[in-house]
Amino acid sequence: MDNYTNNPATTNVLDDSLAEITKLEGKLDVSSAPVELKEEAMHSIQRLKRMVRMGGYSNEFENVSKYIDWVVRIPWNNVSQDSLNIAKAKEIMDSTHHGMDSVKNLILDYLASMQLKSGNMVSATSNVPTQIPMGEPAREARPVPQFNSYEVRSPVFMFVGLQGVGKTSVAKSIATSMDRKFVRISLGAIGDVRTLRGTPRYSIDGEPGQIIKALVRSGTMNPVILLDEIEKASGNAGLLSDVMATLLEILDPEQNSSFVDHYIDYPVDLSKVMFICTANNLGGLSAALLDRVEIIRFTSYSDDEKEVIAKRYILPNVLKELNLTEQQVQISDDIWLSVIRPVGFDAGIRQLERNIGTMIRGAARRIVDGHPLPIVINKDNLGEFLNVDQGPLS
C-alpha cells in the first residue's frame, strides 16, 4: 500500500480519483434528498475513498456514481402549483374533444371537489364588484379563495373504452388544464415487476423502475402519470399477480406515500401524483385494484360526432401539418359518410384520421404537380384520393 501511495506515477491517479469523489459529495450535499438517504449514500462514498487508497475502485465508482446521480435527480421537494380553474379546464377539454359531456362533467366534478377539499386557501381580492343592498354603506370587495390543491389526494381515474375513443388525449388535457406535467408509462406486455419497482443497485443491470423515472422526467412530485393499457400486462398468472400487487401499492393512497423502489431503496412519496389508468376492458384486473379507482367509461363515437370531429379538429390539423389552407383543398359535405365509415364500424377516430391524411396527401401531390386550385374532393373523384374499401372490418 505504501508503494502505491508513494509512487509518483500513481499520485496523479489518486488525486484525480479523490477529485471525482469530492464532486459526488458536493452533488449529494446540495441535493434536496432526505437526510437519511443522504447519510446512506455518503457511507458508499466513504467506502470509495477507502478503496481508492487501496488502488482499485473503478467498478465500484461507476455503481455509486450512477446511484447518486439518480438520487439527486429525483425532484424530492419540487411540487408544481395546481390550477383548478373549472372554466379553464372545460375550455381546454372542449377545444380538444367534441362531445363526451358525461366524461367531461365527471372530471370537472372531481376538480371542483379537489378545490373544496384543499383547505389551504390564499386570499385574493376579486375584481368583480360586490352588489351592495340599497342603504348599506360601501365596503371592500370580498376576498375570493384561491386553492393550493397539491395537499389534497388526487383521485385515481380508470378510463375504459375501445381503441381510439380519446382516453389518452383526455388525460393529457387534464394535465394541461391543471398546469401539471404529463408522463405516459405503457404497461403493455410488462412481464417483470422490476419494470415498475426497479432492480437492486448492486445488480449488473441495476436501475430505477418506470415510476421513479417518470418523476425524474417530469421534474415534479405531482405530475399526471398515465398508466396506459393496464390490462395488457403479462398474461402469465404468476407474473400478472406480481404486477397487479405492485400497481395496487402504487395506486392505493394508503400505501403509496412510502413506495419503495428496489434501486433507490428508500421510501418515495407518490401521494401527490395524479394517476390515470387506461384499459380497453376490465378483464384480468383484480377486484382489489378496481376497488381503488374511479371507473369512467368512454363510449363509441356516432357518425354525426365523427363528422364534427373531422371538420373541426382533424382536417384543420392535417392541413396545418402540410402547410395547406382550406382555400387550397376543399372537401364536399356529401362524402363524409364514405370517409367516416368506408367498411364497417370503427369505435374510435384513428381510421378516420388515416383516411383524412390519405386524402390531403393526395391533394398535396396534385398541388405540387401544378393542378389548378382549389383541389376539390367530391363524390365523383373520391376514389382517386381514397380507397373506399380500406378501413376497419366489421
Q: How many CB atoms lie within 10 A of CB 394?
A: 8
For residue 330, what are the β-bridge partners? Answer: 376
- Predicted local distance difference test score (pLDDT) of residue 263: 94
Domain of 265, CATH number, reads 3.40.50.300
Residue 101 lies in a domain: yes
In this structure, are 317 and 253 located in the same domain? no
The half-sphere exposure of 209 on its side-chain side, counting CA atoms within 13 A, is 23
* Model-wide pTM > 0.85: no
Name the domain boundary from 257, 273, 297.
297
Distance of alpha carbon 308 from its chain centroid, rounded?
A: 27
376: pLDDT strictly greater than 80: yes
Domain of residue 46: give its range.
2-73
In this structure, are 311 and 288 located in the same domain? no
In this structure, are 50 and 177 located in the same domain? no
- Predicted local distance difference test score (pLDDT) of residue 219: 94
What is the total count of domains within the chain? 3
143 phi/psi in degrees, rounded to 5: -70, 140
**CB–CB of 71/208 below 8 Å?**
no
Residue 133 lies in a domain: no
Distance CA 10, CA 3 (A): 10
- Predicted local distance difference test score (pLDDT) of residue 76: 93
Distance CA 309, CA 383 (A): 22
Closest CA to 253 of 134, 183, 153, 142: 153
Tens of pLDDT along 135-157? 444 444 444 444 444 455 677 89
In this structure, are 224 and 281 located in the same domain? yes
Domain of 313, CATH number, reads 1.10.8.60
For residue 268, what are the β-bridge partners? Answer: 259
Amino acid of residue 312: R
The chain-wide mean pLDDT, for the chain, equals 80
In this structure, are 92 and 191 located in the same domain? yes
In this structure, are 289 and 317 located in the same domain? no
Of residues 305 and 388, more confidence is placed in 305
Tens of pLDDT along 347-371? 678 888 889 999 999 999 999 999 9
Amino acid of residue 335: I
Of residues 327 and 390, more confidence is placed in 327
Tens of pLDDT along 292-339? 898 999 888 888 888 888 998 899 999 999 999 999 999 998 888 888
